[in-house]
Chains A and B, each alone.
Chain A
Amino acid sequence: MSDGGGTYPNLFDAHPPFQIDGNFGAIAGMAEMILQSHTDAIEILPALPSKWKDGKMEGLKARGNITVDVHWKDHVLSELKLLSKSSGIKKIKYMGKIKEVNLRANQWSILKPADF
């Protein structure tokens, strides 16, 4: 940090004066380790790093305007919460398995690892 490298506590990069790839790209990359929604399925924890043993990520948005909260313990999903603005069936993918979830508008849906 002293020589202008690394990151600040809020994960912005410390390279002066402003590095857009560092500020947004690095965080986007990290978010994509937890959640991906490029296809029509929302994929949970596609590339969890081995150093992140326990953790949680809250308020992340998946495509289709769905808020996703992910909690994990010992490298395994412990709880998944979904909030959609519109009702409909969504595909959720975890560990290569796909589950179809019926989401209701503005209601939290809670999923456990046993559901997959």
Chain B
Amino acid sequence: MIRIILNRILISIPVLLVITVASFLMQQSLISITDIKRIEDSHQYSTTFKKAFENESLPLFYASVSPSNFPDTLYKIKNPLTRNRLKALLRRGGDWKLIEKLNQTEYQLFQQSDATGFNNVLLNTTDPTVLNQLIKNIPDSLSKSVIWANWMNEWDAVQLNLKPARLVIPRIHWFGSQNAFHLWFSKVLRFEFGNSSVDNQPVKDKVKEALSWTLSVNLFALMLIYFFSIILGEYIFRSKRNIDGWLMFFYTLPRFFLGMILIILFSSNTVHPFLHIFPTPGFIDSMPGVSWVTRWITYGKYLILPLICMVLPGLAYVVSLYRTRLQEESKKPYAFMSWVRGESASTLLSHHLRKNALLPLIALLGSELPVLISGSVAIEVLFNIPGMGRLMMQSILLQDWNTVFAILLLTALITIVGRLISDLMTQMLDQRIK
């Protein structure tokens, strides 16, 4: 048993690692895209820029593979525009020593006051081909100055020294533990995801509050699904009714569509005032820290419709699975033997069929939890529940990447843990797998 647990945990470690690395890279690229946009759009250049590029003075990862002419300190150039221009030259096979010299001259150039505005044109151009065209049109007043002459010479030197062959030879740089991923990951392991860029609250607190709602609602929905599935599945099995059509209907019904129908029917006067049973969806959890029982009693009436939305499609699926499993089991020799021994149908069901038919349902438990959580995004947005789904949606729209990736990682973790639990439960219950 311990061997199996260890085995499963060992398998899930590389999966988690891949997810972490992928989300880190996505987060980095998203932050730089967002912030380049912000640099272009807003005048809050300096503050946003500094915040976003806190880690930029560090290399991205433990090691990097680049062509031999690329320096290992390129990440230290903080201005993305300058960096992109230098990269464009390097990608053509330029020599780094010459390019570095050119960059220093450019820096001096930008320090100067410039009446023609040509410096800005130069600053914003990253493509060397376009730059070559521009140089031809340099105003005379500029080309006579010493720095410009220097720059022109160095530019020509770089252009003459382009050797694409340098790109073919790879070089591996090793940066050690002082890199952005290492720092980020060690924070993630301590569940520190930084502050939200929307309200500057710690992401940890925001997610914790949202997670408690989502988990409690989803676990309750899961319990309801399984409770009613067993009752309904056995009823259908014994009465031999065919309600496959209905099951299929509810299974394929999109949850948000069902939600909208329910809202229109039961929480508004649109159809009939008599049907206005439930309050208008949406509440704000105004008593964080109060016990869960009190909160559920207070907000329970807001959760009935969303729970119906979550339970119905899942219920239809689990019921049809359980019914099919019962039918399969009832055709097996042991069920025949039970009939031969003169046992009643209810004894057969409760003593033999139920145990065996429930096994795949328990295996399903692990995969049903992440489905519910991802499915609850639509439901939480629709019914305005302050859970993870709504937080994720809001954070994506507001480009609050710290929160988005914290939720992403947590969801991955929940999925893996759910799988692990269902695996272990199947192991414990099914003697044959042992």
Q: Give me the interface of A with B, judged by CB distance under 8 Å.
A: 63-66, 84-86, 88
Which residues of chain B are near A63, meaning CB under 8 Å?
339-340, 342
Q: How far is the CA of A50 from the CA of B340 in the complex (A)?
A: 30
Those 10 A-B pairs whose CB atoms lie nearest each other, nearest first: A65-B342, A64-B342, A63-B340, A85-B342, A65-B341, A86-B342, A86-B344, A64-B339, A63-B339, A66-B342
A65 touches B340 (CB 8 A): yes
Q: How far is the CA of A80 from the CA of B343 in the complex (A)?
A: 23
| Chain B nearest CB, measured from A115 CB (Å) | 22
| Chain A nearest CB, measured from B213 CB (Å) | 51
Q: How far is the CA of A10 from the CA of B275 in the complex (A)?
A: 79
Q: How far is the CA of A65 from the CA of B344 in the complex (A)?
A: 11
Q: How far is the CA of A65 from the CA of B342 in the complex (A)?
A: 5
Instruction: Pick the most buried of B339, B342, B343, B344: most chain A CB atoms within 10 A of its CB.
Output: B342
Q: How far is the CA of A63 from the CA of B344 in the complex (A)?
A: 12
Which residues of chain A are near B339, meaning CB under 8 Å?
63-64
Q: A85-B342, A86-B343 are in contact. List 14 more A-B contacts (CB 8 A).
A: A63-B339, A63-B340, A63-B342, A64-B339, A64-B340, A64-B342, A65-B340, A65-B341, A65-B342, A66-B342, A84-B342, A86-B342, A86-B344, A88-B344
Which residues of chain A are near B341, meaning CB under 8 Å?
65
| Chain A nearest CB, measured from B431 CB (Å) | 27
Q: Give me the interface of B with A, judged by CB distance under 8 Å.
A: 339-344
User: Quick one: closest A residue to B336, CB to CB?
Assistant: A63
| Chain A nearest CB, measured from B134 CB (Å) | 94
User: Quick one: closest A residue to B341, CB to CB?
Assistant: A65
Which residues of chain B are near A66, meaning CB under 8 Å?
342
Q: How far is the CA of A86 from the CA of B343 in the complex (A)?
A: 8
Chosen A-B contacts, 16 in total, with CB atoms closer than 8 Å, are A63-B339, A63-B340, A63-B342, A64-B339, A64-B340, A64-B342, A65-B340, A65-B341, A65-B342, A66-B342, A84-B342, A85-B342, A86-B342, A86-B343, A86-B344, A88-B344
Q: How far is the CA of A64 from the CA of B339 in the complex (A)?
A: 6
User: Quick one: closest B residue to A87, CB to CB?
Assistant: B344
| Chain B nearest CB, measured from A116 CB (Å) | 23
Which residues of chain A are near B343, meaning CB under 8 Å?
86
Which residues of chain B are near A84, meaning CB under 8 Å?
342
| Chain B nearest CB, measured from A69 CB (Å) | 17
Q: How far is the CA of A85 from the CA of B343 in the complex (A)?
A: 9
Q: How far is the CA of A27 from the CA of B341 in the complex (A)?
A: 21
Which residues of chain A are near B342, meaning CB under 8 Å?
63-66, 84-86
Which residues of chain B are near A85, meaning CB under 8 Å?
342
Q: How far is the CA of A2 from the CA of B341 in the complex (A)?
A: 41
| Chain B nearest CB, measured from A38 CB (Å) | 11
Q: How far is the CA of A6 from the CA of B343 in the complex (A)?
A: 39
Q: How far is the CA of A84 from the CA of B341 in the complex (A)?
A: 11
Q: How far is the CA of A63 from the CA of B340 in the complex (A)?
A: 4
Q: How far is the CA of A63 from the CA of B342 in the complex (A)?
A: 7
Q: How far is the CA of A31 from the CA of B264 in the complex (A)?
A: 69
Q: How far is the CA of A63 from the CA of B337 in the complex (A)?
A: 9
